[in-house]
Amino acid sequence: MNSTMYAVAAIAVMSAVTIALRFLPFIALGKRKTPRLVTYLGKVLPSAIMGMLVVYCLKDMDFAAVQSYVPQIIAGLVVVLSYIWKRNTLLSIVAGTACFMVLVQVVF
């Protein structure tokens, strides 16, 4: 099997598994009411995941040198303030990323 056929086969398998995982809850639950646990998880998991991402992004902050932690804190504040201002997640992510890159590449 050449590399092109291998790549096509790998993409086909990955696509089939992804589609199956997406449709499995609908097939399993059918027309029944959504279980309370699933409804609860749908409410709390987005906030929990965002909290874990914030902790993961800031876990390596080193307070020994200013250039190590100030860009992260400023970029984080830009994300929070831009989200409070516009309530647009994509805008907040782009603004925070751009701010961090400018601070790291130009300022610090």
**CB within 8 Å of 102: residues ≥ 6 apart:** none
| Residue 63 belongs to a domain | no
Residue 1 pLDDT more than 90? no
Question: Do the domain assignments include residue 64?
Answer: no
Instruction: Tell me whether residue 69 is in a domain.
Output: no
The structural domain count of the chain equals 1
Higher-confidence residue of 13 and 28: namely: 13
Nearest CA-CA partner of 108 in 76, 44, 79, 65: 65
Cβ(25)–Cβ(39) below 8 Å:
no
pTM above 0.75, yes or no: no
pLDDT by residue (tens digit) across 60-101?
888 888 888 899 999 999 999 999 999 998 999 999 999 999
Whether residue 15 is predicted with pLDDT greater than 80 in this model: the reply is: yes
Q: Do the domain assignments include residue 68?
A: no
Q: Which domain holds residue 16?
A: 1-32
- In a domain, residue 102? The reply is no
Reduced 3-state DSSP string for 4-31: HHHHHHHHHHHHHHHHHHHHHHHHHHCC
Tell me whether residue 75 is in a domain.
Answer: no
pLDDT of residue 67: 82
Residue 8, in any domain of the structure: yes
| pLDDT tens sequence across 19-72 | 999 998 888 878 888 889 989 999 999 889 989 988 998 888 888 888 888 999
